[in-house]
Amino acid sequence: TIDIKLAISITLIAILVTTVSAYTACKKELMEEPSALMRPKAPKNGKRILLERIDFIWKRLSFISKVTLRNIFRYKKRFLMTVLGIAGCTALLVTGFGIKDSIQMIVSGQYGELLKYDMEISISNKTTDSEIKDMASKLNKTKNIKEYEFFVYENGEVKTNEGSEDVNIVIPDDLNKFNDFIHLRQRVGHKKINLKDDGLVLSEKAARVIGASVGDTIKLKNSDNITVEAKVSDITENYISHYAYMTKNYYNKLFNNIPSNNKVLGILNRTSSKEEDKLSKELINIDGVSGVVFNTVFSNTIKNLNYVVLIMIISAGSLAFVVLYNLTNVNISERIREIATIKVLGFYDGETAAYIYRENIILTIVGIIVGLIMG
């Protein structure tokens, strides 16, 4: 669907920018007398640049280098326009490649190294114990499921005086099998984290938002809106969503209650789209199963985002080409008599071209350096 407000605001901003740019460019010319406009503009008077005052550097430069440096600082508007234009394009390119690398990390890091399971089965709230046992029996007979385990997933909130954050409270049914499905580790050094009965393990971003560190006591609210004080035993690496991992014993100690399992995490033998479609149809018919989600869904989403990044990269490259083309065109038009003069003085075609290109190359390099910092 199209966001009408966003579309209108973008259109208005685009019209405003183009109108102001055109008005600024034309204002001075339109105020001139027709007779003055018909006469060619006199070139700007040459001025000494700062580098000329540094004798030990200036004396060592060749004649062409001196002329190039003088021209660069002589046309200050063109200097700024080229540097800013190239810097903007470079920043977009760096941003595009940076987003691509970050997105790729989500696939390989989050859904590979940290979350090892391939599918997630949601269990209906009204499922009885007998239906759970029957579900486990049918999962054991399913050929494509290599391994599975029951979990509790519950919406919650962590809070301190510095802030609050919504989290998914995750409780494994069998602690011994927990690491087969979810790997907890510290981001720096990748030291393995084990769940213990004396505290919860909080995901890194959630801990940073609320200002919590290892050993701190925070407020934890569960889905029944019961708030208790909990200890942060460790902080785990994580990139998508926010999690609070704990054992059933620690949850029972905090809330005096042991929740029922409502998720099944599974590892598959085959993860092709055809096999997953076949498996989902088989699982959805089991009593108590309310939904099935495969992690390949996230991989496909990432692939689609890669196309957006590719468009950004191509657009930035095209914009850089247009900026340089137009500025070079304007540059040559303004200095046509100057170019004619140096050709009369004996410059060959290659030397004349290098006279212009050299300035563009220097300005482009400066723009790239600025753009890399911006990007």
In sequence order, what DSSP letters do the residues of 230-288 get, joined into one string? EEEEEEE--SSS-EEE--HHHHHHHHS--PPP-EEEEEES---HHHHHHHHHHHHTSTT
Tell me what pLDDT residue 238 has: 93
User: For residue 7, is pLDDT > 80?
Assistant: yes
The three-state secondary structure class of 192 is strand
Could you tell me if 280 and 206 are in contact, meaning their C-beta atoms sit under 8 angstroms apart?
no
Average pLDDT estimate for 213-234: 94
Local confidence band at 44 (pLDDT 50, 70, 90 cut-offs): low
Local confidence band at 305 (pLDDT 50, 70, 90 cut-offs): confident
Which letter does DSSP use for residue 43 in this model? Answer: P
Name residues whose C-beta falls within 8 Å of residue 288's C-beta, 6 or more positions apart in sequence.
123, 124, 127, 128, 131, 132, 134, 135
Residue 240 token pair: 């998508």
Other Cβ atoms less than 10 A from the Cβ of 123: the count is: 22
The three-state secondary structure class of 347 is coil
Tell me what pLDDT residue 304 has: 74
Alpha-carbon span 215 to 246, nearest angstrom:
15
State the sign of the Cα–Cα–Cα–Cα dihedral 108, 110, 115, 120: negative
User: For residue 206, is pLDDT > 90?
Assistant: yes
Tell me what pLDDT residue 1 has: 65
Local confidence band at 211 (pLDDT 50, 70, 90 cut-offs): very high
Could you tell me if 160 and 212 are in contact, meaning their C-beta atoms sit under 8 angstroms apart?
yes
Local confidence band at 43 (pLDDT 50, 70, 90 cut-offs): low
Lowest average pLDDT, out of 115-129, 209-223, 299-313, 354-368, goes to: 299-313
Question: What average pLDDT does the chain have?
Answer: 87
State the sign of the Cα–Cα–Cα–Cα dihedral 351, 356, 360, 363: positive
The three-state secondary structure class of 25 is helix
Tell me what pLDDT residue 307 has: 81
Local confidence band at 107 (pLDDT 50, 70, 90 cut-offs): confident
Please state, for a pLDDT cut of 70, what percent of the chain lies above it. 96
* Higher per-residue confidence, 41 vs 71: 71
Tell me what pLDDT residue 248 has: 94
Tell me what pLDDT residue 42 has: 67
**pTM of the predicted protein model:** 0.68
Could you tell me if 157 and 166 are in contact, meaning their C-beta atoms sit under 8 angstroms apart?
yes
Tell me what pLDDT residue 117 has: 92
Tell me what pLDDT residue 253 has: 94
Could you tell me if 234 and 184 are in contact, meaning their C-beta atoms sit under 8 angstroms apart?
yes
Distances (CA, A) of 34 to 37, 38, 235: 5, 6, 73
User: For residue 243, is pLDDT > 80?
Assistant: yes
pLDDT per residue as tens digits for the range 65-106:
887 788 777 777 788 888 888 899 899 888 888 887 877 777
Average pLDDT estimate for 279-301: 84
Distances (CA, A) of 297 to 136, 232, 302: 25, 32, 9
Question: What contacts 24+ positions apart, CB below 8 Å, involve 82-85?
Answer: 82/323, 82/324, 82/327, 82/360, 82/363, 82/364, 82/367, 83/363, 83/366, 83/367, 83/370, 84/367, 84/370, 85/319, 85/320, 85/323, 85/324, 85/327, 85/367
Tell me what pLDDT residue 147 has: 93
Name residues whose C-beta falls within 8 Å of residue 254's C-beta, 6 or more positions apart in sequence.
220, 228, 230
Which letter does DSSP use for residue 177 in this model? Answer: G
Alpha-carbon span 157 to 226, nearest angstrom:
10
User: For residue 195, is pLDDT > 90?
Assistant: yes
- Cβ-based burial of 225 (10 A; exposed 0-12, middle 13-18, buried ≥19): exposed
* Higher per-residue confidence, 21 vs 123: 123
Other Cβ atoms less than 10 A from the Cβ of 111: the count is: 20
Tell me what pLDDT residue 265 has: 95
Average pLDDT estimate for 338-363: 85
Average pLDDT estimate for 236-258: 93
